[in-house]
Chains A and B, each alone.
Chain A
Amino acid sequence: MTRFSEVLKRSGRMRSRQRKIANAFMLSLTAFLTALALVPLFWIITYVIARGGQYINLDFFTQLPRPMGIAGGGVLHAIEGTIVISILAALFSIPPGVLAAFYAARNPNSPLGVAVRFSTDVLSGIPSIVIGLVAYALIVQPQGHYSALAGGIALAILMLPIILRTTEEMLKLVPHSLREASLALGAAEWKTSLSVLFPAALNGILTGFLLAIARAAGETAPLLLTTLGNDHYDIAQIIRGGLQTHQSIFQIVGRMLNQPVDSLPLTLWKYAQQPYPERINQAWAVALVLMIFVLSINIIARAWIQVRTRRLQG
């Protein structure tokens, strides 16, 4: 009978060396592949900075585009448009998304809960251009004109599954006993959700919001069919004009939302197609701004969560 310990004694040294070599090899392999995966990221960032960085100045952020052939000008219209559309999209998607997520998390096996989850999956799989098309058919066509509103709704549909999914997952992570503790004190279900579950899951939920906004802010396809583009969109101008003609705040906001607007990705797409070198250069600059915009949303989100977590955990 061969004893394991004897076999081990005979082959022990060799095995141990083999193991060390294999270990070192696998470790370097993973390090190499990780580095490889990072290459495109750094390549894109450096290339965009190299091409677009030189065209960025203060005017670029504060001025509207100049007519072709005249140097200077900026993309204020697109920055403002992106912000307006993003806010609209957030307003339309966050409340229903969060509420539906609460329902789905609470009643995962009810018919409605299953339906919510299923349709979320389907919705997230629909190409964004199709969503743009639907928004065009349902809003742009009946209204007779393109608008920021239509773009906001299209992006909201795009954001909805992301918000719903992340919120639901975050709610599921909240310990069951927390909910029970609140209910055992006599709190109603809605009160428990609002003042215990929601704060407990807030970090994750907000991350979901910001990810969804970042995703939507980078979309081009649905906006092509809903907001069209507007070189003269200027919020300051709209407000000034409105105040001079004594319009109410609702009329001013209405004018902001109910006209075609531009957005950064849309502008980038349009500029990149034009044959003029200055437009191409500006397209690179827009790409850089868009990148910074999305990146800062991410960084702000992470920093904010860090602070909150530290405050919670003391």
Chain B
Amino acid sequence: MNTQTRTLLNTGKAASIMTKPSITQFEHKSNNDAPVKVDVKNLQVFYGKFRALAGVDLAVRENQITAIIGPSGCGKSTLLRSFNRMNDLTAGCRVQGEVSLDGDNLYAAGVDVVDIRRRVGMVFQRPNPFPKSIYDNVAYGPRLYGVRRRTDLQEIVERSLKSAALWDEVKDKLGQSGMSLSGGQQQRLCIARALAVEPEVILMDEPASALDPISTLKIEELMQELKRNYTIVIVTHNMQQAARVSDYTAMMMIDEQRAGRMIEYDQTNIIFTRPKDKRTEDYVTGRFG
């Protein structure tokens, strides 16, 4: 892909590098200086009497991809859904602790859930386009927030579809049903739909688990593009995927009371090469359970 010719450095330059106090290492993807975008502090989520999350802390950094991994039923999705208060929709769900977006607690009194959901978009496990045209799918969100002018909507739809790397494939058939697209295209349509309301954070709940490998790679490539402008949190069962796409990885597991806990949270490079916790080690090497 890279056609740039690479040559050895000239000796003078090399010598100057060698005499520097520290030799530059490979640049890692993750950026430790990125500010915290979503800060989870001692989060506890209850379904009725059952405690699903037991005191989770997590600092999601801005413009980084954070993967949440862990065995089934460890509370990954519950944690993800607390980021846009989708848990509110589950009957009997109660939340304690704090999830703050840019420092403002989402669970404070008087917070407008609609505003949160505009700022924190979500993409689901199975592609779920509405039974509407491609255009109306993307325009759905903007219309909710009162965008009515045709030219405005057209602009938003085009920009969102371009950001989701779908524009070229659908620009001639915007009037066709969103359900007429292939699975991978449908999922990118869902991403475009989420992008249309210009969120700051995008939550992805196993976004590629229902897709074929090529479509999966396209979504993963897209995520790398998107992270320039958005903060992404992804839940995935696929550890290779977490390793490929994410900058940070959070490892979760259930404790004896079957409540989800954060076991380890670190740069992805570290989690997959030298995790500190034995349970993380067992999980990422496939020896869990």
Residues of A within 8 A of B (CB): 175, 177-178, 180-188, 191, 195-196, 199-200, 311-314
Residue in A175, A185, A311 whose Cβ sees the most chain B Cβ within 10 Å: A185
> A interface, by DSSP: helix, strand, loop or mixed?
helix
Q: Is B117 a contact partner of A186 (Cβ separation < 8 A)? A: yes
The smallest beta-carbon distance between A113 and chain B, in angstroms, is 12
Chain B contacts for A312, CB-based, 8 A = 131, 177, 179-180
A185 to B180, CA, bound (A): 22
Cα A182 to Cα B122 with chains together (Å): 10
Whether B177 pairs with A175 at a CB distance below 8 angstroms is: no
Instruction: Please tell me if B218 contacts chain A, counting CB pairs below 8 Å.
Output: no
Contact with A along B143-164 (1 / 0, CB 8 A): 0110000000000000000000
From 6 to 21 in chain B, residues with beta carbon under 8 angstroms from any chain A beta carbon are none
A311's nearest neighbour on chain B, judged by CB, is B177
Q: Nearest-CB distance from B25 to chain A (Å)?
A: 40
A180 and B86: CB pair below 8 A? yes
Contact partners of A182 in chain B: CB under 8 A: 130, 140
- On chain B, the residues within 8 Å of A178 by CB distance are 128, 130
Those 10 A-B pairs whose CB atoms lie nearest each other, nearest first: A314-B180, A186-B117, A184-B122, A177-B128, A186-B114, A185-B141, A200-B131, A312-B177, A181-B128, A177-B124
Q: From the candidates B121, B177, B193, B197, name the one contacting A314 in the complex (CB within 8 A).
A: B177
Are B89 and A183 in touch, CB under 8 angstroms? yes
Structural contact, B124 and A185, CB atoms closer than 8 A: no
Chain B contact-residue range equals: 20 to 34
Does B244 make an interface contact (CB < 8 A)? no
Contact partners of A185 in chain B: CB under 8 A: 117-118, 121, 140-141, 144, 193-194, 197
Is B216 close to A, CB under 8 A? no
Contact: B132 with A180, CB < 8 Å?
no
A186 vs B147: C-alpha distance when bound (angstroms): 14
Q: Chain A CB within 10 Å — which of B113, B122, B144, B180 has the most?
A: B144
Residues of chain B within 8 A of A187, CB atoms compared: 140, 144
- Whole-angstrom distance between the alpha carbons of A311 and B145 in the complex? 28
Chain A CB within 8 A of B32 CB: no
Contact A186-B86, Cβ < 8 Å, known A175-B128, A181-B128, A314-B176: no
